[in-house]
Amino acid sequence: MQKRLILTAGINSTGYLADSWRHVGGSPLVFAEFDHYLRTTRIAHAGTLDAVFFSDHPALGADPAQRPLHSFEPLTLSTALAVAVPDIGFEITVSSTYSAPYDLARRLATLDHISGGRVICNIVSSFNPAVAANYGSAPLPPREARYRQAHEFMSVVGALLDSWELRRPADPQAGLWDPDFARPIGHRGEFYNVAGPLNVPRDRQRRALIGQAGASGPGLDFAVAYGEIIYCSLLSLSAARAFRDELHKRAIAKGRDVGSLRVVPGLVPIIGRSREEALERHEAVSGTGSEEGLLRRFARDAGIDYGALDPDAPVSGDLFTTTADQQRPAGFSQALAELARHERITPRQFVRRVEGGHRLVAGTADDIAADIIAWWRSGIVDGFNIQAPVLPDDLSDFVEQVVPRLQDAGIFPRHYESGSLRERFGLTQEASSDRYLKGSGSA
Amino acid sequence: MQKRLILTAGINSTGYLADSWRHVGGSPLVFAEFDHYLRTTRIAHAGTLDAVFFSDHPALGADPAQRPLHSFEPLTLSTALAVAVPDIGFEITVSSTYSAPYDLARRLATLDHISGGRVICNIVSSFNPAVAANYGSAPLPPREARYRQAHEFMSVVGALLDSWELRRPADPQAGLWDPDFARPIGHRGEFYNVAGPLNVPRDRQRRALIGQAGASGPGLDFAVAYGEIIYCSLLSLSAARAFRDELHKRAIAKGRDVGSLRVVPGLVPIIGRSREEALERHEAVSGTGSEEGLLRRFARDAGIDYGALDPDAPVSGDLFTTTADQQRPAGFSQALAELARHERITPRQFVRRVEGGHRLVAGTADDIAADIIAWWRSGIVDGFNIQAPVLPDDLSDFVEQVVPRLQDAGIFPRHYESGSLRERFGLTQEASSDRYLKGSGSA
């Protein structure tokens, strides 16, 4: 099956940007109202987007000036939305550090049945001490241990999801199901001991698609072992090419078919009737208020004195370094460093290229559509996770103004295809099953 | 507010009885189909029942001749049903032994928001080694330790559900929410350390109703500390009176208002056009096939030789004893012993009084309605959890034939009242909040 453009919509309460709550049309308290998520999902559905994507941290931030980035539990919320909205998929974020494999496998299989195979499970290893404090007294494990745990977690979840098939009709003489096809998994490992089998039979798309968002070395190894939809921050085409090459190199080294990977970077669209209007909206919704505000924030994030910043001198890639156990996604720092290394770029340009960690495209609907079409035709990426700054308004603008241009260009469907997400994406069960077995063996 | 009859519908895959899968109209594989649960819930809704009740064990039995009693995860399934079916409540079973308090509180609050306050959470302390084996290598803790853990679990969940209120509108100057009303809980205990606050604000009914189903001594202490809807097996009015008196005595000793407790025993209705037809259906759906089959099962369950059984001699209450760590609900054994002690009853009568652990009423719709009316008018119980033997057919018969008789008798509403379940049941937030604080203090 030919690859096709994947477009998903990131949903983070009032929008992708921290200041979005000051810009939502109604009350900013919509972050705790089901109707807000329903309305947003229906807008995404009107644009035939492939999925809505719920990131997650199970913790409330301490700063009341920040909106709660995450509130409702994503799998529960997605289940409700799946009943109310057809066709569209649901990408839910789950921590491999703080979930029981049996629980996750069971909930995933339940939602996959209910939704008819519309689930992508985005596995993250938690990096937030506030999350750790809600799940016990142990400090957050170091990154390396968290990824080792994540590997074992996935291999157990995969084995559970495969542990029970209903292969023949019930037989009043022999029983309701065939015990040959309900196999205990008998897993005994470093982090988990799980008997199995799962009490939910194999689901419609056989197994939820697996998303993965870590771009560090251990994150990439995890991606090629289990991931299918790879989320990342890619700020330039050259950085995207380098990332894809590295991902494919690691995949090939593990015997993974690179055709079963989809690279889907984040994209923050800010749409104006003119480029100037888009830049003004960027200053407003970013909370910086002006170009100077953007530059001041850049200086602060890079740890340099604003007074010493020359906004028109090239940025050094060394400004953005990653430490092994930093408390933020390694991928974001890496992406910033890559951008500075790959291009001769000034702070004034830089602040218009990235927002909230992801690639910013501020301009007219034509500008944004042209950018997406160019990236897609490069063949380097498989799609984009659209991070609308303010929800639902910016997503609505994207669906009404940008999506039709992609459809007119023939790179995005006007209607939903039938079947599970796995089928629509051409990520067949056979490839998936092989991969899981390999992943399991190497864990 | 005056008490009102509570009627809930127990939903266990193909029905309450183990042999139900051989009697369902379509394929017995409906246990893994969302439409089966949707259809069943819609039937319950047509009867204005208060809630559907999902019991649960997160494990697949090893015997293929037994249908899976539990498959889809109850909270996820209930979320889907809550979107599809209005008015009706959802009682979900959750293990205090194998859930993280932060996860449960968050999912409960999410579902309570989505459903508009239609959740009852039935807390159980797992007693099944097959469940324990899916959640680690530790053996199942002894009953006493599990209840100690359950107390701490509830006090943490209660504190989390109360930890964040949205007390004033967002203020662009001061922030989105008021930090005075988002309080870390800072819980450090024997089983859990949880920082809080929860990242979901207080829900519509303020807190999900708490169900409780353990009838042992520790179970009753847990019930009076936290329970609001008390599920139990009560096989005679005299046993029901004794149970209620014991529950009230313990409640008063703890300073609990007995008016905030609702006693809702199970009831297995088997409806026939005549009593004879009902008894034949009982023999069929129980899987015993005949009265002799029922008597043979009775002898086996009591651990006596069938050849030595006199079906017409009174049963000794000592036949059914409870051990401290038995692998089945203590409440069922106790109920059997109580029945034998309170009434001079023969095995032939006994086998028609109880089925699957709960009180059986086999007869015409008039018989069953008269029984429910008599129990309700006794003032001893607050309602019944209807355990239809085969789903959805037996629930459909109950709704079509028995419910109208209860409505005609003026003891059950013809239409849903508005508001949350807590409001409908007259279990006000004030009483609940006091109780939780007391429970928390004594844990």
How high does pLDDT run on average in chain A? 89
CB contact under 8 A, A79 and B84: no
The answer, yes or no, to whether residue A440 has pLDDT greater than 70, is no
Q: What are phi and psi of A253, to 5 degrees?
A: -60, -25
In this complex, which of B65, B73, B135 lies closest to A107 when CB atoms are compared?
B73
Q: What are phi and psi of B212, to 5 degrees?
A: -155, 140
Q: Are A142 and A197 in contact (CB under 8 A)?
A: no
User: How is residue B172 annotated by DSSP?
Assistant: T
In this complex, which of B60, B106, B201 lies closest to A199 when CB atoms are compared?
B60
**What single letter denotes the amino acid at residue A391?**
L
Q: How many CA atoms lie within 13 A of B392 on its CB side?
A: 19
| Global ipTM | 0.93
Choose, out of A66, A110, A121, A162, the residue to mutate when testing the contact with B (most B CBs < 10 Å). Answer: A110
In this complex, which of B66, B71, B102 lies closest to A58 when CB atoms are compared?
B102
Q: What is the pLDDT of residue A350?
A: 93
Q: What is the pLDDT of residue A437?
A: 43
Q: What is the pLDDT of residue B436?
A: 47
pLDDT tier for residue A173 given thresholds of 50, 70 and 90? confident
Residues in chain A within 8 Å Cβ distance of B60: 164, 182, 196-199
Q: What is the pLDDT of residue B425?
A: 93
pLDDT 10s digits, A203-239 = 767 788 999 987 778 889 999 999 999 999 999 999 8
CATH superfamily, domain at B6-274+358-442 = Luciferase-like domain (3.20.20.30)
CB contact under 8 A, B194 and A133: yes
Tokens of B179: 């930090």
Q: How far apart, in whole angstroms, are the C-alpha atoms of residue B111 and residue A72?
A: 9
Q: What is the pLDDT of residue B324?
A: 52
pLDDT tier for residue A381 given thresholds of 50, 70 and 90? very high
Q: Are B201 and B164 in contact (CB under 8 A)?
A: yes
CB contact under 8 A, A134 and B76: no
Task: Sketch the domain layout of chain B as residue ranges.
Answer: 6-274+358-442
Q: Are A266 and A384 in contact (CB under 8 A)?
A: yes
Kind of pairing between the strands at A354-355 and A209-212? unpaired
Integer CA distances (angstroms), B414 to B47, B401, B406, B408, in order: 8, 14, 9, 9
Mean pLDDT of A261-289: 96
Helices and strands in chain A, H and E counts = 16, 12
CB contact under 8 A, B114 and A84: no
Kind of pairing between the strands at A6-11 and B187-188? unpaired
Q: How far apart, in whole angstroms, are the C-alpha atoms of residue B382 and residue B263?
A: 5
Residues in chain A within 8 Å Cβ distance of B178: 64
Residue ranges of chain B with pLDDT lower than 70? 1-3, 204, 321-331, 429-443
CB contact under 8 A, A194 and B135: yes
pLDDT tier for residue A438 given thresholds of 50, 70 and 90? very low
**What single letter denotes the amino acid at residue B240?**
A
- The alpha carbon of residue B65 is apart from the nearest alpha carbon of chain A, in Å, by 4
Q: What is the pLDDT of residue B26?
A: 79
Integer CA distances (angstroms), A151 to A34, A87, A173, A246, in order: 34, 31, 42, 20
Q: How far apart, in whole angstroms, are the C-alpha atoms of residue B357 and residue B366?
A: 23
Q: How far apart, in whole angstroms, are the C-alpha atoms of residue A391 and residue A387?
A: 9
Percent of chain A predicted with pLDDT > 90: 69
The answer, yes or no, to whether residue A435 has pLDDT greater than 80, is no
pTM of the model: 0.94
Q: What is the pLDDT of residue B328?
A: 53
Choose, out of A56, A128, A134, the residue to mutate when testing the contact with B (most B CBs < 10 Å). Answer: A134
Rg (chain A; Cα; Å): 22
Using a 10 angstrom Cβ sphere, with 0-12 exposed, 13-18 middle and 19 or more buried, the burial of residue B75 is buried
pLDDT 10s digits, A330-375 = 667 777 888 888 788 999 999 999 999 999 999 999 999 999 999 9
Q: What is the pLDDT of residue A129?
A: 87
Choose, out of A73, A97, A118, the residue to mutate when testing the contact with B (most B CBs < 10 Å). Answer: A73
Q: How far apart, in whole angstroms, are the C-alpha atoms of residue B291 and residue A406?
A: 71
Q: How far apart, in whole angstroms, are the C-alpha atoms of residue A195 and residue A171?
A: 26
pLDDT 10s digits, B161-188 = 999 988 777 787 788 888 888 999 999 9
How high does pLDDT run on average in chain B? 89
CB contact under 8 A, B170 and A29: yes
CB contact under 8 A, A71 and B200: yes
Q: What is the pLDDT of residue B335?
A: 79
Kind of pairing between the strands at A354-355 and A358-363? antiparallel
Q: How far apart, in whole angstroms, are the C-alpha atoms of residue B36 and residue B32?
A: 8
Integer CA distances (angstroms), A51 to A88, A198, A209, A215, B204, in order: 5, 27, 12, 22, 29
Q: What are phi and psi of B372, to 5 degrees?
A: -65, -40
Q: What is the pLDDT of residue B312?
A: 96
- The alpha carbon of residue B199 is apart from the nearest alpha carbon of chain A, in Å, by 5
The answer, yes or no, to whether residue A320 has pLDDT greater than 80, is no
Integer CA distances (angstroms), A309 to A299, A303, A306, A313, in order: 7, 11, 5, 8
Q: What is the pLDDT of residue B432?
A: 47
CB contact under 8 A, B76 and A174: no
Tokens of B162: 């109360």
Q: Are A181 and A165 in contact (CB under 8 A)?
A: yes
- The alpha carbon of residue A289 is apart from the nearest alpha carbon of chain B, in Å, by 14
Residues in chain B within 8 Å Cβ distance of A178: 64
Q: How far apart, in whole angstroms, are the C-alpha atoms of residue A21 and residue A65?
A: 10
Out of 3.20.20.70, 3.20.20.30, 3.30.559.10, 3.30.70.260, which CATH number does the structure's domain A6-275+359-442 have?
Answer: 3.20.20.30
- The alpha carbon of residue B366 is apart from the nearest alpha carbon of chain A, in Å, by 33
Q: How far apart, in whole angstroms, are the C-alpha atoms of residue A160 and residue A199?
A: 9
- Contact partners, residue A301, CB within 8 Å, separation at least 6: none
Q: How far apart, in whole angstroms, are the C-alpha atoms of residue A202 and residue A88?
A: 21
pLDDT 10s digits, A56-93 = 999 998 888 888 889 999 999 999 999 999 999 999 99
Integer CA distances (angstroms), B122 to A150, A441, B222, in order: 31, 39, 12
Q: What is the pLDDT of residue B31?
A: 93
CB contact under 8 A, A169 and B27: yes
Nearest CA in chain B to A160: B134
pLDDT tier for residue A326 given thresholds of 50, 70 and 90? low
